[in-house]
Amino acid sequence: MADQYAHSGEDKRPTETPAIRWEEPPEGPVLVLLDQTRLPAEEVELVCTDAPALVEAIRSLAVRGAPLLGIAGAYGVALAAVRGFDVDEAAAALAGARPTAVNLAVGVRRALAAYRAALAEGGDGRRAAEAALAAARALHREDAEASARMAGHGLALLDELLPAGGHRVLTHCNTGALVSGGEGTAFAVALAAHRAGRLRRLWVDETRPLLQGARLTAYEAARSGMAYTLLTDNAAGSLFAAGEVDAVLIGADRIAADGSVANKVGSYPLAVLARYHHVPFIVVAPVTTVDPDTPDGASIEVEQRAGHEVTEITAPQVSVAGAGGGIAVAPLGTQAYNPAFDVTPPELVTAIVTEEGIVSPVTSEALAELCARARR
Ligand SMILES: CSC[C@@H](O)[C@@H](O)C(=O)COP(=O)(O)O
């Protein structure tokens, strides 16, 4: 297939502005986020001084992606604690801001547990706030480490499953440094392959309706200098049929105990296509995304989002007109079906790559074993 749509350039860091950082200016501690709703047009930072501002940033997808939501949730609890707000109330609001990515609740719980433990040990509010912040910082650091390990395991798996000569990988949504303390999940594997000279092309699904692929993954791919090509989600079938996809690499928002994978809507159809075309479908996620308390795919709550995300175009460069703030592309009053995620059953998943190792085939026993290993 012709390469005229490819972007290729020098090798740079995937993002120069970190997706999240804690700062302590004289006016008081703040959480600074790179506003992902404005990318790729402009790099604008959002400064959160309290939990409600962070909840809004989470709902609007200014901050998004499972691992980053966990880190943000933990910092949000710390922010409420250091600024003297009601920590339990902040934790409940943060954990409930979006339902599908389990990492959000996990991050919130971790900082809250540290806060409560410090109080239970007789510490004052300041000491407890420091404990919550230390927990958030530890999670942030651990996510960066997990990211590097997933990249290593994922690249080894690609090399094992695919013939030598350069991998052509299809990805969906955005899973790079914008969602992580490190270089991400699925995208980090593609980046490792690129750096090793073994990525022939990254196929980037645009990822309707909010275009995380077109706006964010293409932005990260361009910065890394890898060869990439953007396609509409519904072009994936013809790409498989043309024999142009060697593997699918995606992230996950929640992996149920039976190995069902919830990820950005459009992942499940890719898994079906991959199976039909005998292409490996690989999920890359940290162990914190595996939720032993959710037994199966049917038990995963899939976030339903506002219809105007489908009935209007809301890309940052587009000026406003419609009821949701975008330009209408459907008749006014059109109802929309807009689930943010779908669920892929374990039998369609070739492998789940985590920082603790690879699960393949995907069974509940193998996943439980992996989680137990991670706890030791
Ligand atoms: C490593 S990120 C994995 C998932 O969180 C990602 O693929 C995804 O679906 C993100 O959805 P989003 O709605 O943009 O938060």
**Radius of gyration of the chain from Cα atoms?**
20
Contact 101, 94 (CB under 8 A): no
- pLDDT above 90 covers what percent of the chain? 87
Q: ipTM of the assembly?
A: 0.98
Give dist(CA 336, CA 243) in Å, integer. Answer: 33
253 catalytic residue (yes or no):
yes
pLDDT digits (tens, 9 = 90+) for 325-352: 778 888 888 999 999 999 999 999 999 9
pLDDT score recorded for residue 5: 33
Contact 107, 70 (CB under 8 A): yes
Give the dihedral sign, CA 43/44/46/47: positive
pLDDT digits (tens, 9 = 90+) for 234-273: 999 999 999 999 999 999 999 999 999 999 999 999 999 9
How many Cβ atoms sit within 10 Å of the Cβ of residue 290? 25
pLDDT score recorded for residue 322: 63
| Amino acid residing at 194 | H
Identify the H or E element spanning 46: strand 45-48
Given 143, 246, 253, 342, the catalytic residue: 253
Nearest ligand 1 atom to the CA of 66 is: 5
Confidence of residue 112 (pLDDT cuts 50, 70, 90): very high
Which of 11-15, 135-139, 197-201 has the weakest average pLDDT? 11-15
Stated pTM of the model: 0.94
Give dist(CA 259, CA 10) in Å, integer. Answer: 38
**CA 110 – ligand 1 centroid, Å:** 21
Tokens encoding 187? 């995208």
Cβ of 39 closer than 6 Å to ligand 1, yes or no, is no
Contact 282, 255 (CB under 8 A): no
Tally of helices (H runs) and strands (E runs) in the chain: 11, 16
Cβ of 273 closer than 6 Å to ligand 1, yes or no, is no
Tell me: pLDDT of 114 over 80.
Answer: yes
Tell me: pLDDT of 1 over 60.
Answer: no
**CA 28 – ligand 1 centroid, Å:** 31
Give dist(CA 122, CA 131) in Å, integer. Answer: 13
**Residue 229, C-beta contacts closer than 8 angstroms, at least 6 positions apart:** 5, 6, 201, 202, 203, 204
Cα distances from 262 to residues 134, 282, 296, 347, 349, in angstroms, run 30, 13, 10, 14, 12
pLDDT digits (tens, 9 = 90+) for 148-177: 999 999 999 999 999 888 899 999 999 999
Ligand 1, atom 7, lies closest to the CA of 251
Ligand 1, atom 1, lies closest to the CA of 175
Cα distances from 188 to residues 91, 164, 336, in angstroms, run 30, 20, 33
Tell me: pLDDT of 9 over 50.
Answer: no
**CA 360 – ligand 1 centroid, Å:** 22
**CA 280 – ligand 1 centroid, Å:** 20
Cβ of 356 closer than 6 Å to ligand 1, yes or no, is no
Annotated binding site: 64-66, 98, 212, 263-264
Annotated binding site for substrate: 64-66, 98, 212, 263-264
Residue 284 φ/ψ, nearest 5 degrees? -120, 120
**Residue 345, C-beta contacts closer than 8 angstroms, at least 6 positions apart:** 260, 297
pLDDT score recorded for residue 329: 86
Mean pLDDT throughout 139-144?
97
